Chains A and B, each alone.
Chain A
C-alpha cells in the first residue's frame, strides 16, 4: 500500500497530538483518537506487527511534515490501552513487538468461520496458505493475514470446537467442523 492512499485525520497535522497531554480529559480524548488512528492505519496498510523500537520508521508515528514524533513510551501506553479491548497484544516480554488486531481475534474467527460455512467447507481440510494467500480468499478481509495471527485466530476457533489445527512442520492445515 502506498502512503498516499491514507487519509489522515486532522489530528495528525496538529502538533499537540504528538505530546501526551497532562490534562486528564484531554488526554482521554487524545488516547482515544490515537487508538482509532492506529487501528485504521493498520487496517489500510494490512499491518499486523508493530515494533515500537522502529516506530519512527512508520509514518503513522512520525509526521515528517510537521516534524513531530510520538515517543516510544507513549506508543507503548497507547498499545496497552488497545490490549485491554483485545485489539493488540505484546509478543515479547519488554513489550517491544506488538501484534495489532484491528478486528479482535473473536471477530476474525467468526469472519473466517462464516466464510467456511458459506462455502460449505466444513469437514474438509484447508492449508493455512490457502486460507490466507489462496486465490479464493482474495476478496476476503483476512487475505494476506500474517501466519502467526492466523494461527491465533484459529486457536480461538479451536477452543469452540469449530476446527482443529494440524501444525506439523511441512503442511500446516486446519480442519473445520
Chain B
C-alpha cells in the first residue's frame, strides 16, 4: 500500500484513460483498507482510485504508477455465486520518501483490487496490454513505431488523446495552405503569360495594319480571324464603369459581338457554360465571373440584341439566336428524328456537332411539342417520330 501516493487526477501529456470501473475496494496485501466503494481509473501511465465523483471533479485521489506493477494475477472467484472479482497486483520495491502517501509502510509486496460488482470491461487484459506496451516509458515509443520518421530527429507524433487529434488537424491545415500557395503561384504565372500573349497579338495586328500592302488580302483576313478567336482587343472591365448596370450592358454587347458568328455556325444555340469559357478564353487576362456573364446575358433580350438566354425545363441554360424559338427547334429536330428512324441524345449530338446536353434538350423540346415520343429502356433513352399521335390507332 506504500506504493500509492496522493495525486491529482489530471492527466499528464500523452496520458490517456484506458478503462474505468466503479465500486472498487483496495486491499493492502490481504488486509482490507478504508478505501472502499471508489472509482478506479486505469490510464496509460497510472492506476487512479478516488471516492465516487472525486476524480471527475479533479479532487485529490490515490495514484499508483504502472511501472511499479510487476505482475498481474486474477484471483479465482470463490465457490459462492458472487459477482465480486479480485485482482492481485504484485508490485516492485519503491521508495519515494517525499511523496505524500496514505500509508508510509506496508509489509506486503502486493495489493488487491476488489471489484464488488465484477468488472464491466476486460480489466486484466487492459492492464496486461498496458504493461506490455510500457506506454509510460517514453513518448516516442508509441504504437507508431512501425514507420520510423525519415528525419534524423525523431519526430514526436502522437495519435492518442485530444492533443493528438488537434495536432493532426493543424498539420493537415498547414499542408493545404502550402498547396494552395503553390497553386496560386501557377495561376499568377499564367496571368502574366496571358498578358504577354495579348500584347503580342496586339503588336501583330498593328503591324498588319501598317503594312497592309505587303501581304495579300486573303492572308490578312485569315490572320485577323485567328486573332479574333484568340482575344478581344479591349475587354470591358468592371473598373471602368461606375454602375453595375452599365457594366453589364457593355459586357452584353461585347459577348454578343464576339459570339454571334460562332453561334450562327453551330446551329443557333450554345450552352451558357460554353459561352462562358469562350468569352474568358478570348479575354485572356481580364477574366470575368460566371455571375457577370449570366447577368450580362440576361440583359440581352431587354436590349433587343440578336442573342438571348433561354432556360430549358431541366434548368440547362443556353445562349441562342433571338430568332430561334422552341417550336422551330422542335420542328427541325423532329425532321432529323424522322430521317433517321430514331435518335438518342448521343447520336443527335454527333450529327449536329453540339453537346450531348444540348442534344437532349432539343429532343425533349420536340417531345414537348408532341413531335416525337420516347422509348425508355435499359438500352437508354431513344426518341422516335411520334407515330402514336400521327398514325391511326389500329
Contact = CB atoms under 8 A, between A and B. Distances in A.
A23 B367 contact: yes
Nearest to A25: B370
Interface string B353-394: 000000000000001101001111100001010111101011
A2 interface: no
Interface string A1-38: 00000000111001111110111011001101100110
B285 to A, nearest CB: 47
Contacts of A9: 393-394
Contact of B394 (A21, A26, A30, A36): A36
A19 B389 contact: no
Contacts, number: 61
A11 B394 CA distance: 8
A21 B374 contact: yes
Contacts of B376: 19
B384 A23 contact: no
B384 to A, nearest CB: 5
Interface residues of B, number: 18
A46 interface: no
A67 interface: yes
B382 A15 contact: yes
A9 B376 CA distance: 20
A19 B391 contact: no
Contacts of B373: 16, 19, 21, 23, 26, 30
A43 interface: no
Given A26-B370, A36-B393, A21 B388 contact: yes
Interface residues of A, number: 22
A103 interface: no
Contacts of B377: 15, 18-19, 67-68
Contacts of A10: 387, 391
Contacts of A67: 377
A29 B388 contact: yes
A23 B386 CA distance: 10
B387 A14 contact: yes
B372 to A, nearest CB: 9
A159 to B, nearest CB: 34
A37 B387 CA distance: 16
Contacts of A14: 384, 387-388
A46 to B, nearest CB: 20
A19 B393 contact: no
A80 B121 CA distance: 62
B370 A23 contact: yes
Nearest to A7: B394
A26 B391 CA distance: 11
A30 B388 contact: yes
B394 A19 contact: no
Contacts of B393: 9, 11, 29, 32-33, 36
A36 B392 CA distance: 13
Nearest to A30: B388
A16 B342 CA distance: 10
B382 A33 contact: no
A16 B394 contact: no
A16 B391 CA distance: 13
A15 B382 CA distance: 9
A17 B386 CA distance: 10
Nearest to A24: B370
A25 B376 CA distance: 18
B195 to A, nearest CB: 51
Contacts of A36: 393-394
B394 A33 contact: yes
A26 B371 CA distance: 9
Contacts of B382: 15
Nearest to B371: A23
Interface string B328-367: 0000000000000010000000000000000000000001
Contacts of A37: 394
B388 A16 contact: yes
A9 B367 CA distance: 23
A16 B375 contact: yes
Contact of B374 (A19, A33, A68): A19
Given A10-B387, A26-B388, 11 more contacts: A9-B394, A11-B388, A15-B384, A16-B384, A18-B375, A21-B388, A22-B374, A25-B389, A29-B388, A29-B389, A30-B388
11 contacts: A11-B388, A14-B387, A14-B388, A15-B384, A16-B384, A16-B387, A18-B375, A19-B374, A26-B370, A26-B373, A26-B389
**5 A-B pairs with the lowest CB-CB distances in the bound complex, closest first:** A15-B375, A16-B373, A19-B376, A16-B375, A16-B384
